[in-house]
Amino acid sequence: MSDPMVFAILLGLLLLLLAAGVWVAVALIIMAFVAIAAFSNAPEGLVLATTLWGHSYSWQLAALPLFIFMGEILLRSKLSEDMFSGLAPWLGRLPGRLLHVNILGCAIFAAVSGSSAATAATIGRMSVPELKRRGYPEKLILGTLAGSATLGLLIPPSIILIVYGVATEQSIARLFVAGILPGIMLVLLFAGYVAFVAWRNPASIPDDDMRYTFMEKLRASRRLIPVLLLIGGVIGSIYTGVASPTDAAAIGVLLATILAVLSGNFGTKAFMEALMSATRTSAMIAFILLGAAFLSISMGFTGIPRNLAAWIATFELSPYALLAVLTVFFVILGCFLDGISVVVLTTSIILPMVEAAGIDPLWFGIYLVLVVEMSQITPPVGFNLFVIQGLTGVNILRVAMAALPFFFLLLFGALIITVFPEIVTYLPNAMGN
């Protein structure tokens, strides 16, 4: 039986398990167990036991629950309200006016949460009622929120970049730094689109009667200082080499707790809720990573990824053609799986092909996150769509249609970093190893 046929059978088994409602981690373990039992001579039970035990601890992975905990703390604080109050006076005169609060608010919160869903929930809870009250069009409110919340996957500290770094043995610090410029690029693309829509149809954007002096704007900006200090403390310590991502995550949890307490809306109950939510999320991701580790080991025993890469090489696809095919593949896969599952499921199979094509694994990690961002706003399993539907009660298809322009902007962003890879690699190279 040919390797493509074997791969198709295993993939079909996985999709069948997922369709039956089996947990992603369990589905990965079953698929890997079948692969190693049916298509290799390795002792499957021994390999399963040693893999799960050997991958059940990792110092690099310790950053994951800490960053999740930091985001959960901020989710329950008043810092998101402070962001709206601090940003609104500066953005009221731009084309698109306060719609830019969604974009910049998501970008700022993404830099302290690491989660797309948490970013959508936090900023949406604060901005959607306020923007609706002021008469902004629903489509642009929902679209800017859905699209900009995806920045939580890219702008460091990104949970999905930690997962990719652990799965592919890439430096998490370098991945974090690599995500900075692409994140800024996406913010500019989103803001440019809103400004263009406002310029084409100025009647759709309500007038802002509020006028602020420069000193009033500065006073309002004081509310942004805590969040900016938190971002600077976490990202700055990583970039300068003062702290590893895990150390920076610990600093972030401490600073986030202090800021949340000082905001006056964070007590013992909120702290325990944040702790338990972070524990559940971290345990889920860790379980998925264990399943992915066993899948990766089993694929190594069967030789399927290596042979599949050699088979695809016979088509003599250029790197650009390979990336085009992978983009379609990841977007389709992302229609049915969450972003973390997409990454852990595919890296052990896809990475040999990518490296054989001469593509930098560091750059590929950022590209992969960009493509996964698209799937966050693609039905039927676009997590951001579900979060926004839960916040607003709007039909999920209407939310998806509102987010469609931002899907194409993300696709355009992936094209830009493909043509100009230095956008991704410049800062990591400047940082060194």
Least confident of 185-189, 308-312, 421-425: 308-312
Q: Are 117 and 380 in contact (CB under 8 A)?
A: no
Identity of the residue numbered 7: F
Query: Rounded to whole angstroms, what are the CA distances from 389 to 32, 136, 331?
Result: 35, 18, 21
pLDDT-derived band at 326, boundaries 50, 70, 90: confident
CA 358, 362, 367, 371 torsion-angle sign: positive
Q: In this structure, which amino acid lies at residue 95?
A: P
How would residue 3 be classed by pLDDT, with cut points 50, 70 and 90? low
Contact 67, 114 (CB under 8 A): yes
Contact residues for 6 (Cβ-Cβ < 8 A; gap 6+): 35, 39, 302, 304
User: Structure tokens of 389?
Assistant: 């539907």
- Taking all residues of the chain, what is their mean pLDDT, rounded to a whole number? 81
Look-up: residue for tokens 């599952």? 341
Closest CA to 143 of 202, 83, 95, 96: 96
Checking if the pLDDT of 327 tops 90, the result is no
| Type and span of the H or E element at 84 | helix 79-91
Mean pLDDT, residues 393-412: 89
pLDDT of residue 156: 80
Average pLDDT over residues 50-57: 77
Residue with tokens 């692969």: 35
**pTM across the whole model:** 0.75
> Please, what is the angle between helix 24-39 and helix 268-302, to 10°?
20
Please state, as a whole number, how many other Cβ atoms lie within 10 Å of the Cβ of residue 246. 20
Cα 230 from Cα 226, distance rounded (Å): 6
Domains of the chain, residue spans: 22-431
- Is the pLDDT score of 411 beyond 90? yes
